[in-house]
Structure 1
Amino acid sequence: VDSSGVHLTWSEIIFENFSKVTVERRKLTDTAWTQRAILSNPLITTHTDMVNDDTDFQYRVTFSDVQGNEKWAEGETTIPKTTSLYIPDDYESIQAAFDSPVIDDGDSILVYPGKYPGTLSILGKDILVQAIDDNEVATIIASDSDRCLNINNGVFEGFRLERGTGGIGVSTAGGGVYASGNAVLRNNFIVDNEAPGQGGGLYLTENASLYNNFVTNNVGDTVGGILISNATGQVINNTIVGNNIEDDTLGGVVITNSTVTFLNNIIAEHTGFDLLLTGDNSSAIVAYCRFKEASLADLDGNIPGDPLFLEVATEDFHLLPNSPCIDAGHPGDEYRDNDGSLNDMGAYGGPNGY
């Protein structure tokens, strides 16, 4: 047994009027056999069966002649109970690890620092893909003419996603990331991406959610930072800075036809709008955020003041001590910072602060 399959071997058996070799398997708890292969060449004495992770099997190899007479041999195999893979130790690429049959719901892919080129498709499996080692960065660099990440399930955490350029043959929204389904993005830097459509940094739809991400210096044709469309998820404690488009009108975030919960976010440094709501957003919650269109009379805790970042030019979005965004997030206990103080707006705030 290895990560590519179960390798079966048997002794060569030659008898008159040979017809076929049948390879079957069943779970140890089952009584019925399932056919896996039929081999017509009697000289073939090996077969590789695809791994089904976390399940033990019994295999049977049956030799048949043209009259239907049979001889068989049986054996059992134990499949390793894989719960995590390390990149690049176990696999060179994140995508190869994700596509491996030993990774299934509830498992983890843990990624050491390095540069990982290409586009990731994290689709279907409910797993954790996490960059490890806080002192260095695991960077996803998109392939030419495509985005960094397509994701519709699981958690994607701790990466730098850069130089995405949107999709080919699919929606061109989301230069860096296209997030849908029940996907969760947490503690990522989404930077220097460009979309030929909307959402230079990210396109968010369905029940996908964002927590404690930085979205900066992205460019889109009509929305530079994030397009949130037909969404029902949560966007909490993110920092969205300096994203623009060609005519400089919709640089930051656009929310359209959504019931999203949008809390504790900082949107700043856009030459056009920081935040624009269009369509039917009557059930959306936008509160305790910083964006320049906010009114000082806003009863939902939104504020327009300068967030006072430490150094935007070097992507240091820590808040200066006199920032109006400190302790200005949602006052609920579930949103408090790691030190127990009131929530700071932006990606460094809240219980999952970057």
Structure 2
Amino acid sequence: MIATRKLGELTVGAEGLGLMGMSQAYGVRNDDNESIATIHRALDLGVTLLDTANVYGPETNERLLGRAIADRRDRAIVATKFGIVWGADGSMGARGDAAYVKQCAEQSLTRLGIDHIDLYYQHRVDPTVPIEETWGALSELVAAGKVRHLGISEASADTIRRAHAVHPITALQSEWSLWTRDIEAEIVPTARELGIGIVPFSPLGRGFLTGSITSTDDLPADDMRRRLPRFADGNIDTNLAIVTALRDLAAEKDVTPGQLALAWVLSRGADVVPIPGTKRRTYLEQNVAAAGITLTADDLARIEAAAPRDAIAGARYPEELARAAGK
């Protein structure tokens, strides 16, 4: 069993489990039986924070999680999200008006088959709606007992402060890993000042830091990573040099590159609970083992030297996916 950590006042396992890949994005070949077995194994290992969203699938991921926890609801911390909407051109947008917030919550509760959501995130911030309106609606959901804790994802420091002034934020979910460190300068200090826990998504660089991807040819034809600049020809070779350096360091500690990268994220602080995603028990167990890795000051210095903050080639997202991020 892994140790626990605190996100604000919410106690969870030191690692969570991202469920998106069970239903979309990474060359999905759905195996619901294995996915459910992976969720059950996560709970057995103390991985209690189970992370989904209404847009994963869409909708099917919430239903899958609902099936998986139907007979073990008391052991699971259910986190889901609202707010992302997709344009006809494939661009990512956001919606945060009060009526939509409440509608999404009711729909998620139905799909999940539960009477309350443990942690409800605003997935992306709607630039056309004052954050105070969105969070006013969220606070009403808490008052009604339909939601226990509130979170926000990919938000700016100013937006975090404004939302927190309406209702306390329990968790901030943003991308954070050895190849995405944008939040360190301003957003992490803001979260810590306000007592907000940090939930890094893609802590393994969308799988790249595991060393299992050496070219775009390794990715299925329908894998969304083929659209990401960091996996593009020209960038991927530069980024592979970092993985090679991590592999050498990992071998010295008799761990995998992915475990070393995940241990680095876990070392960022006791208020950090990464949610590596997987749909297989084997990889889940490897990820959980990373929580037992101790990194010395020398280890951390060598990791930083192997993966310098500004060495990654390529943007996080292509333009059509980037417009709604970081508001």
After TM superposition, the score normalised by the length of structure 2 is 0.28
Q: Which has the higher helix share?
A: 2
Q: Which has the higher strand share?
A: 1
Q: Relative contact order (alpha carbons < 8 A, sep ≥ 6): 1 or 2 greater? A: 2
After TM superposition, the score normalised by the length of structure 1 is 0.27
- Of structures 1 and 2, the larger Rg is shown by 1
